[in-house]
Amino acid sequence: MAFIEVVGGRHLSGELTIQGSKNAVLPILAASILHKGITRIKNCPKIIDVYHMIKLLESIGCIVTWEQEGLTIDATDVNYNSVDKKYVSSMRSSIILLGALIGRNKCVTISYPGGCAIGERPIDLHLKAIKELNVEVIRNEDLIFCSTVHLIGGNIEFAKQSVGATENIILAAVKAEGVTIVNNAACEPEITELCSFLNQMGARITGAGSKTIKIEGVKELKDVDYTLVSDRIVMGTYLAAVAGTGGSVTLRGNCCEENASVIEVLRKLGCRVGVGNDYINICSNGKLQASSIIETESYPGFPTDMQSQIMSVLSIANGSSLVVENIFESRFKTVSELVKMGAEIYVNGKVAQIHGVNALYGTDVKALDLRGGAGLVIAGLMANGTSRVSGIEYIERGYQDICLDLRTLGADIRKVEE
Ligand code: EPZ
């Protein structure tokens, strides 16, 4: 079993370019099947979730190749409409193929994605929205079957904001007859990125990034070469790492303004942060002042995907903090691992109370989800002594090479294959 070994106590310094965005590329890969042609994606991250999505695309007839520049998808012959159960259960974001296959072939058979460590992850909003496009949805305990003869634009009002459900309805509506209006749409940058990609393919989408999105159905799409945006959560993760360890680092990527809420928190903790068009510079003395309360919210609020990482940093800040997790119902699982390292954290429902301690101490801990694992790596960087983080298959779902990235910034960290 492999693990990450990190020797704590080092300040971070230097410069790093951030990888392409996981949460932007997954819906874009699904979107590529809307066009019977070629899609090229530059800056595509080499991460487990992308490899999973590639297998899914190949299982329905796509030809996918890695080239020097990035990933090429030939979706000329998408001749299957059922999405293999083993992939859907192992990567819940494969549910994004629901909208894409309805958009391509007007039918899809897919299994339930199921929950994960951070929550039950239902898809009720996805299915309710799809029905508004004249699609029949039939379900049994294992499978969901969606089909229509005429895909017709409709009006969707989401009861709550959902990134995946917004992406799914956009993908289904791009080639529907007529206009689709989505109200209470998610506003995350990944929605904006997906719509930018689709408009380059020839779609006609306006309002992306706002709560009201309009999709005018088109008949044809075209080949596209697309350069993917940098990963805002990976950038936020490394900003948090510098905040906690101390040091001075420049991170390069075109997702700086999308990190505004994270930067605001880091400045309140006592970090100096400079922001350019395509870089963020952060300086920290590692002696942080606790932040009173941090609540996770939909964009542009503080992202739930940064909650575990900031929790690690707050665990050694001077004073007490509260973290409120408003998006997922069980995203505090990593707290028990941080407590093994000497953190003083109490969880009550969706509120975690953190009392900063002088130092964490290195020990063996286990990643239980993607961002929790990243939080444990940050804790290991800050701790006295050596930590070993197992469960790194979670971390490698979203981080191309977290050890190489952090070693580039001076960390004493490596992946060990046992
Ligand atoms: C996306 O997940 C991201 N994943 C998540 O990032 C991110 O945490 C989440 O959005 C919120 O920003 C990808 O983009 C691949 P949601 P998604 O639908 O789309 C509830 C990471 O670490 N809900 O916006 O699944 C749901 O249970 C991952 O990179 C319903 O109730 O999130 C949750 O409480 C983790 N019914 C809330 O909405 C539904 O039909 C937000 O979920 C759908 C969702």
**323-371 per-position pLDDT tens digit:** 999 999 999 999 999 999 999 999 999 999 999 999 999 999 999 999 9
Atom 35, ligand 1: residue with shortest CA distance:
305
Q: What is the pLDDT of residues 146-192, one digit of tens each?
A: 999 999 999 999 999 999 999 999 999 999 999 999 999 999 999 99
Question: Is the shortest distance between the CB of 315 and ligand 1 below 6 Å?
Answer: no
Instruction: Report the Cα–Cα distance between both ends of the chain, in Å, rounded.
Output: 5
Q: What is the pLDDT of residues 24-81, one digit of tens each?
A: 999 999 999 999 999 999 999 999 999 999 999 999 999 999 998 899 999 999 988 8
Residue 320: strand pairing partners: 355
Domains of the chain: 2-18+230-417 (3.65.10.10), 22-227 (3.65.10.10)
Atom 34, ligand 1: residue with shortest CA distance:
328
Taking the CA of residue 328 as reference, the ligand 1 atom at the shortest distance is: 34
**8 Å CB contact between 221 and 175:** yes
Collapsing DSSP states into helix, strand and coil, what is residue 42? strand
Residue 344: strand pairing partners: 355
| Structure confidence at residue 120 (pLDDT) | 86
The first and second tokens of residue 128, run together, are 């309710």
Residues assigned a catalytic role: 116
Kind and range of the H or E run holding 73: strand 70-74
| Structure confidence at residue 89 (pLDDT) | 81
Question: Is the shortest distance between the CB of 331 and ligand 1 below 6 Å?
Answer: no
Kind and range of the H or E run holding 156: strand 155-157
Exposure on the CB side of residue 121, measured as CA atoms within 13 A: 18
> How confident is residue 292, by pLDDT bands cut at 50, 70 and 90?
confident
Mean pLDDT of 134-146: 95
How many whole angstroms from 162 Cα to the centroid of ligand 1?
A: 6
Question: Is the shortest distance between the CB of 187 and ligand 1 below 6 Å?
Answer: no
CA dihedral (325, 331, 333, 339) in degrees, to 10, reads: -30
| Structure confidence at residue 92 (pLDDT) | 86
Work out the mean pLDDT of the chain and round it to a whole number. 96
How many whole angstroms from 14 Cα to the centroid of ligand 1?
A: 33
Give the C-alpha separation, 53 to 55, whole Å: 5
Q: Is the pLDDT of residue 398 over 90?
A: yes
CB-count burial class (<10 Å; 0-12, 13-18, 19+) for 322: middle
Q: What is the pLDDT of residues 244-263, one digit of tens each?
A: 999 999 999 999 999 999 99
53: left (phi over 0), alpha (psi -120 to 50) or beta: alpha
Mean pLDDT of 199-223: 98
Give the C-alpha separation, 257 to 352, whole Å: 27
Give the C-alpha separation, 205 to 198, whole Å: 8
Exposure on the CB side of residue 244, measured as CA atoms within 13 A: 32
